[in-house]
Structure 1
């Protein structure tokens, strides 16, 4: 376990995070698409916060804001005690950036096909500077071994590897500067089931050995269950449920979470259709109240006009739904 963090203090602290995108041509009534709306959560040292939701729910946008790939439109992100939003955010991010890394969904697209594996893995080292040639080579060999690959692979090119091996290489690069926190954005979605299991086991082993914290973004609830300590469920850019893993799967409170769990394929019944019909609303034309209201079988009048706040309904279990706020 790393000794650079206090286990009682969040590595990541996010409050009321927003991200807007301007869409449409200039002069033709450009609109604003709110991809993330009022998201708040913490990530503690050594834990994995799973983030799950349908495509377009804002999962990847949150991950990219945490590591500085996208600026926030509002709210606050605090990393290792440094606030990285607002006027001084860039300076603060520069001080902690080496402690953050990002693992993308497509390992092939994340690597330059003309670069050797040794140079791909050593990119963060080269950017940081100050490493001797021998120290650089030793670190690359160490990282390859850490992710279960032979040091003899260092001089090969990306096309010579399978999808699972490429993802291991991308993970090795993410570990180059000994980070504390890694965002895994659909990190196993492009792999077949057997390779998914191997990479998940690798990530969990690395977490135990290195004291890593993860934000694990996925749409597959079975995968999220395997790796997460706690889980945040997103719908239309908003966190609708946030809970420990066991509580979420054994006692889901939000109608959307219940629908997602009901849709998980089961060997005895096959694929189930979710009990919520319809589609996610347009982010350009959000419902006035709860975003799920037009699809929710439990909606009532208040849901049409008032957006529910995320509030704790049991210890460590928060839900954004009027069914649980005394209405």
Structure 2
């Protein structure tokens, strides 16, 4: 049964607004319209093929965004960083590190109230929830990475700088996420470095067969004396690349390592990463899973085959947008719903 509030949201649908969403915000609108937590390709008999099932479910928040493109654009606009929060190149140390999306949005003074003011829905919280859900989707990967890897950062003795090289393997939509959202990742890293590092430089490289066909432009985001550089890497399977870099962390976002349709395509890559095949293993591996079923499968594979103890926990910065699994239409998922970090080296 559809609730009265959801029915009210659905009644605002206008088919042409999907195109309007793209035209009003050409970058993030297209990103949201095409972002999917599943790989578009699977491996069968060592051949890469495209998946054929097309899910029919669409999350109510995406419907809301299509019906309210101007409002969606407004709530997705990151607020400017208040200069008073930057002290001597870092952030005000009196501010506690946010541990939930709501805390983060409150600290960043994200203008969620527009969802109620513009639509005059003072008696209905649906628009506010849809606005938060939409923001959670674009911020999920930056905040997950920033919150999980920051607390485990290491630096050399007597060295006040932090330099890290991270590789996101099997990257998909996160590789084309507009640059301004990676500032949010950097803010959490700066918060976590209080008292340990005065400056930091992070390199985040994306690799995978689902990278956009056009080269991802190199981008740099700076907060005080901190910088995060994002760049596109090899467009293909990780184990097929001639990679010589030593990574401080490997990031696997919703990889589906043990998914029946994806497991074979991950085998050689996992062997290279975890069995020290041809390269030094990373110090850390960050993993996310988009359902409890997905997390349980991946954890069992990593434990039984590679002896890697993995314990997933609910991710406070998970996307709140739901998708239908194209390989199992009865399976509904949320990007980055569970998260785990494993110390390797």
TM-score above 0.5, yes or no: no
Q: TM-score, normalised by structure 1?
A: 0.32
Q: TM-score, normalised by structure 2?
A: 0.31
